[in-house]
Amino acid sequence: METKSLQESASRDVEVAECSEVMPRVFVYGIGNPGRQDDGLGPLLAERLEGWVESEGLSDIKVDANYQLMAEDAHTVSEHDLVIFADASKEDIPSYAVSRVEASSHIGFSTHSMTAESVVGLTSELYGTPPPVYMIHIKGYEWDYAAEMTEQALENLNQVEQFLREWLKNPVEIQTPITV
């Protein structure tokens, strides 16, 4: 797996005085509805990571969650050096997949939600070159109105959480797609 340091990106608007290493500002954003079974995988991942980030003292990592992406998320994306969205997926993937999100040339949105590509496109339009943005698709199985997630989806979530903890210890650009 080829990697590229984000140190240059991390220091683009941060003055560094006699510091040999700058940690990139990372944003992890869980997307989904916890009241729709496996659709809550993104927010649950964010909840788990938030506790881990705090306990590890990783102050350059911000974690949040919401039901969907919205136009105002473009500003948040612009404030970071690496952005990772995580959402439940109905796609035909084994456990999870990681892909790079490219800016959409057509920025479409409603008051309800936006695609990740549209958020990155809006970031580009409003703030200039966006940081690297990735989407983690977590395989889900049931989508009914209930809070309980399936055991299989929770197993997938555990795998994603382990992957992210390792990645966040050394946040670099990665080659995608990754399917596990």
Q: What is the mean pLDDT of residues 53-60?
A: 94
Q: Give the residue, 146 or 2, on which the prediction is more confident.
A: 146
Q: What is the mean pLDDT of residues 113-127?
A: 93
Q: Are 119 and 74 in contact (CB under 8 A)?
A: yes
Read off the pLDDT band of 8 (50, 70, 90): very low
> Could you tell me the pTM of the whole model?
0.85
Residue 72's SS3 state is: coil
Q: pLDDT by residue (tens digit) across 125-153?
A: 999 999 999 999 999 999 999 999 999 99
Q: Are 30 and 40 in contact (CB under 8 A)?
A: no
- What was the pLDDT predicted at 104? 86
Q: What is the mean pLDDT of residues 30-41?
A: 98
**Exposure string over 133-164, b if 16+ CB within 10 A, otherwise e:** bbbbbbbbeeeeeeeebeeebeebbeebbebb
Q: pLDDT by residue (tens digit) across 88-107?
A: 999 999 999 999 999 987 77
Instruction: Domains for the chain: give ranges and CATH numbers.
Output: 23-179 (3.40.50.1450)
Kindly tell me if the per-residue pLDDT of 13 is higher than 60. no
Kindly tell me if the per-residue pLDDT of 164 is higher than 70. yes
Half-sphere exposure of 62 (CA within 13 A, CB side): 13
> Percent of the chain, pLDDT > 90?
74
Kindly tell me if the per-residue pLDDT of 23 is higher than 90. no
Q: Are 39 and 95 in contact (CB under 8 A)?
A: no
Name the average pLDDT for the chain.
Answer: 87
